Structure 1
Amino acid sequence: MNAEAVRERARELPREPGVYQFRADGTTLYVGKAVDLRSRVTSYADPRSARIGRMVDRADDVEIAVTDTETQALLLEANLIKRHQPRYNVRLKDDKSYPMVQVTDHEAPRIEVTRDPAESATVFGPFTSKGAVDTVVKALRETYGIRGCSDHKYANRDRPCLDYEMGLCTAPCTGEIDRESYADDVTSVERFFEGETGVLADPLGREMEAAAAEQNFERAANLRDRLETVETFHGEGGEAVQSVGDERAVDVLGVAIEGEDATVARLRAENGKLVDRDRHTLEAPGGGVARSSADSTGTSADGGVADVGGVPAVLAAFIVQYYAERDLPDALLLPERHGDSEVDAWLAAEGVSVRVPGAGREAKLVELALKNARRNVGRRDECGMLADALSLDAARRIEGFDVSHAQGTAAVGSNVTFVDGSAEKAHYRRKKLTDQNDDYDNMRALLEWRATRAVEGRDDRPDPDLLVIDGGAGQLEAARDALAEVGWEVPTIALAKAEERVITPDREFSWPSDAPHLHLLQRVRDEAHRFAVQYHQTVRDEVATVLDDVPGVGPETRKRLLGRFGSVENVREASLEDLESVPGVGEKTAETIKSRL
């Protein structure tokens, strides 16, 4: 549309609040809100930036929706941006790349770390450190015995599993703990994630002191390290949070920008406690967020901000799109003003206090939010790059497969899962295979097992976007034969080790060695290989080990030893103290094991 076409279209519009969409060939290019639709659209006849000028040139029509109030226009704009993801808007992307903790709604709830929580679960997070989350969840399970097993493993058991023996679960599956007591333990776990650090820190502290008193210094040191992780888990900035006074809920936002990528970090304080933190990625085209706030001075004909760049544009876009479907806090602390008069009017009408602190405790909170944002900005989207390279709709969830055996004996298969580029170990699976010295048949059997479970609904994991086979064209063909026979349609490729060639059913790729999407595939492939080899060693040790000849070590004790240490070699290297920590292994048996091995 040229300038005259824009003015002609604007003359047809009402002087009422609403939302307008610039469209081209049926596709929405840009969504905006206005107090006065005619005035706002007229302003696009003389665009204030080259980016918006390019958008207007591409557009062939302007569609509008009239609303009763400015607030309705604001929220409708947010919904349309989320639905259409217009090329020329700042867009909030769903942030699913950080781990969360969910407590399921089962009769005996389980706890697990996940990036894809169930809608019915009680969810905490997301958190910024996967390692810290894993440490805390393990400590909670050791302290309160909450189960971590799948529903399939939990159902129809007649005796407790190894987790019970290792002190990680109180075995509600077999009634080792009554339901009321188990529910109390679940409540304690939830209280920890709601901010009561002492629920876990206090028992860990007592256990550490007891270990030190018994001169078990190695265990005391381990508990000290774990206690430090627990005490810092809910983050720094607790002192600063006390500044919120009588306000029940305060959100603190920090923004970091690099090129077309922006990150908003949000801290949530409730009743004087820092209870949550998360980070969100926003996209803007061609420099839409690249300018600093000092350059952001353009205003529209009706007093709103037109094409403001930098931090103000990101803040305005985030506030509307994020809070359009969430409860607003009592106060918002920002690093600088967002500069959108319509957003200001909406927040004021909702009773939200907006502050830009310059010093003091609130400024300390804003600085903490800025640090969180800077950690994420510019993070490469390996999954998106991989999807583009392979012409897939998405490559967010990837499963990797490999087989391992020793000349046909102790054959096993591995199935690992990566979500948003990171290993999702709770969704790893492994499979014993029929012993045969044929990699192709082994791979075919492994994929047939995975596909059958998926098709029959016996696998509790979501279907992946992509399957990655460790091997070459032969392994890929075997895998695809199995998928076709079962009727499970999932894109499948192979990654050959020798030349790092990516093999698809139609062609082969030789990507640069520094390509981020190749690195992602390599991580999946290498982890599948590691997991297969590890399981193969365990199965091989289970088949026949020198532990069978140790007096006092029966099948159950052998299983516990191998489950605790992973292999006979690790059992051999374990200290007497470590051996005695395994249920069923006393001082005499531990000494016998050491002498025999």
Structure 2
Amino acid sequence: MNAEVVRERANELPRDPGVYQFQADDATLYVGKAVDLRNRVRSYADPRSARIDRMVDRADDLEIAVTDTETQALLLEANLIKRHQPRYNVRLKDDKSYPMVQVTDHEAPRIEITRDPDESATVFGPYTNKSQVETVVKALRETYGVRGCSDHKYENRDRPCLDYEMGLCTAPCTREIDLESYAEDVTAVERFLEGETGVLADPLCREMESAAQDKHFERAANRRDRLETVEVFHGEGGEAVQSVGDERAVDVLGVAIEGTDATVARLRAEDGKLVERERHTLEAPTADGAGDESGGVPAVLAAFVVQYYAERELPDALLLPERHGDEEVTAWLEAEGVSVRVPGAGREAKLVELALKNARHNVSGRDECAMLADALDLETGRVERIEGFDVSHAQGKAAVGSDVTFVDGSAEKADYRRKKLTDENDDYANMRALLEWRARRAVEGRDDRPDPDLLLIDGGEGQLEAAREALAEVGWDVPAVALAKAEERVVTPDREYSWPSDAPHLHLLQRVRDEAHRFAVQYHQTIRDDVKTVLDDVPGIGPETRKRLLGRFGSVESVREASLEDLQSVSGVGEKTARTVKERL
């Protein structure tokens, strides 16, 4: 639409309150509200920013909806933004990116951390610190023995699994504990997650004191650190909440913006107690245009308040870091009896600062999983689950393969697998065998893990091609890439990438690759003790030095390719020994 067309359309519009939508090819580009539809739409004939100018230029149609009141227009705008997710609006995304803890609906309930809880489960959260949640859940399992295995693993067991031996589960699967007693332990876990800190803190404190008395200082220190995590799990910001005011329910909002990404952290206090902490992500195009946007934090606040509370019960009071500046939003909140305050000092200001801290923590933490999907142009939009593969052997002897799993950027060690391979001095053949084994287990339903979003091969083009041949032969359709060590190049079937060394998505792949390598070498070391290699014949290389060399480089072939400087980086290998190794190999 050009300026003349916009003016012509505006002249046809009523001077009533309502909502307007700029559209292109039946897709909604922008939704706005207006006290006077004619005047508001006419303002787009002379946009005050390049962004709005581009939006108007792209638009080929304009739709309106007249409302009886300005408040109706406000709420209709919020619903349309949620429905159409227009590109040029500040828009609230679904809050699905934070971990929650669920206790499943089962005769012997399972506790697990998830981002997609079951409808029938009892769910706690969401939480903003995944590592803290992991620490607490592990402590709960060690204290109360609640299982963490899948229902598939639970069924038809003849004997308890390793979790029972490690003290992480009381094995209700084989009735090592009766279901009634197990249910009591589950209730205790739920009481802690509902806010009763002492349910877990007290046992940990007793363990810490007992370990210290027995002079098991390392265990005592471990319990002390865990106790500190448990004690702050429910209490972050609690001091600030104690005297919010006379209102029963108070919501506190904090906003942080980085580029076109914004985070709103919301804290809720009821009867003087902090009962909810959550964060929401918004897409916030540069808010400097005509119409409804005043820019920056005020625009994000106004958009969030309407879109979030349009379908939820409003609190008695809202504490904000600054004024949102939207007169229609102000009128709506006043009509609903909501007190809006921007505290400058005191405990209310402390609460706002806590909300700001939570928001800043999220927006500054780049989502490497989403960045990886974008960089590789994957349709998933976010690579949540990665499996990494590597092989290790000593000149073809004691050949093994590793299969490690990362979920949301963190190692999921319960889903690690390893495979002893047929001894063969061929890295490509070994990688092909490893991937064929994994693919067949997936296709035949013998692997209880979910299919990953991405497979990462430790190696270059040759290893990737071998892996893809195995996938094609079995018929397992999962994207695979390789990461070469030498230049940290990411190899795909179509091209190679050389990403900046500080790219978060590259760091993610490096962590997976390095962990796959470590796990493969570790397994190789456990089964190769009796394997003789050419290193045994090198003067100055004893069993311990041989173990360190193979542990560092993974195979004799890699030792052969290592530089003198790399060889000397291994404890016990000096310049003379390094030169001898190079000559003999």
Alignment pair present for 1:178 and 2:178:
yes
Report SS of the residue matched to 2:233. Answer: coil
Distance 1:451 1:270, change over 3 A: farther
**Amino acid of the structure 2 residue aligned with 1:469:** I
Deviation at 1:48, TM superposition (A): 4.1
Alignment pair present for 1:436 and 2:423:
yes
Q: Which residue of 1 aligns with 2:567?
A: none
Q: Which residue of 2 aligns with 1:266?
A: 266
Deviation at 1:172, TM superposition (A): 0.9
Contact 1:403/1:411 (CA < 8 Å) preserved in 2?
A: no
Contact 1:234/1:276 (CA < 8 Å) preserved in 2?
A: no
Deviation at 1:309, TM superposition (A): 0.6
Deviation at 1:493, TM superposition (A): 1.3
TM-score by length of structure 1 reads: 0.80
Q: Which residue of 2 aligns with 1:155?
A: 155
Summarize the alignment of residues 194-233 of structure 1 with structure 2, pairs less than 5 Å apart.
Answer: 194-233=194-233
Report SS of the residue matched to 2:391. Answer: strand
Distance 1:506 1:212, change over 3 A: closer
Contact 1:502/1:509 (CA < 8 Å) preserved in 2?
A: yes
Contact 1:33/1:74 (CA < 8 Å) preserved in 2?
A: yes
Aligned identity (percent) is: 81
Q: Which residue of 2 aligns with 1:400?
A: 387
Deviation at 1:365, TM superposition (A): 0.6
Contact 2:111/2:146 (CA < 8 Å) preserved in 1?
A: yes
Distance across 2 between alignment mates of 1:365 and 1:104: 34
Distance across 2 between alignment mates of 1:400 and 1:357: 48
Alignment pair present for 1:344 and 2:334:
no
**Amino acid of the structure 1 residue aligned with 2:386:** E
Backbone CA RMSD of aligned residues = 3.0
Report SS of the residue matched to 1:371. Answer: helix
Distance 1:181 1:347, change over 3 A: farther
Deviation at 1:410, TM superposition (A): 4.9
Summarize the alignment of residues 362-373 of structure 1 with structure 2, pairs less than 5 Å apart.
Answer: 362-373=348-359
Distance across 1 between alignment mates of 2:367 and 2:479: 20
Distance across 2 between alignment mates of 1:521 and 1:210: 42
Q: Which residue of 1 aligns with 2:474?
A: 486
Deviation at 1:235, TM superposition (A): 4.0
Distance across 2 between alignment mates of 1:195 and 1:279: 19
Deviation at 1:369, TM superposition (A): 1.0
**Amino acid of the structure 2 residue aligned with 1:388:** D
Summarize the alignment of residues 304-453 of structure 1 with structure 2, pairs less than 5 Å apart.
Answer: 306-393=292-379, 394-407=381-394, 408=396, 410-420=398-408, 422-425=409-412, 428-437=415-424, 438-453=426-441
Distance across 2 between alignment mates of 1:331 and 1:449: 59
Distance 1:275 1:462, change over 3 A: farther
Contact 1:472/1:496 (CA < 8 Å) preserved in 2?
A: yes
Q: Which residue of 2 aligns with 1:560?
A: none
**Amino acid of the structure 2 residue aligned with 1:224:** R
Report SS of the residue matched to 1:392. Answer: coil
Report SS of the residue matched to 2:435. Answer: helix
Deviation at 1:353, TM superposition (A): 3.5
Distance across 1 between alignment mates of 2:337 and 2:106: 38
Report SS of the residue matched to 1:447. Answer: helix
Distance 1:116 1:441, change over 3 A: farther
Contact 1:262/1:378 (CA < 8 Å) preserved in 2?
A: no
TM-score by length of structure 2 reads: 0.81
Cα deviation, 1:485-523, whole Å, max 9, x if unaligned, reads 333322221111122222211222333333333233222
Cα deviation, 1:253-288, whole Å, max 9, x if unaligned, reads 111223333222222334433233233332323x32
Distance across 2 between alignment mates of 1:384 and 1:208: 40
In structure 1, list runs of 5 or more residues that go unmatched.
290-297, 301-305, 545-597
Contact 1:243/1:361 (CA < 8 Å) preserved in 2?
A: yes
Cα deviation, 1:379-415, whole Å, max 9, x if unaligned, reads 4343444333333222422413223343355544333
In structure 2, list runs of 5 or more residues that go unmatched.
532-585
Deviation at 1:350, TM superposition (A): 4.8
Q: How many residues align?
A: 528
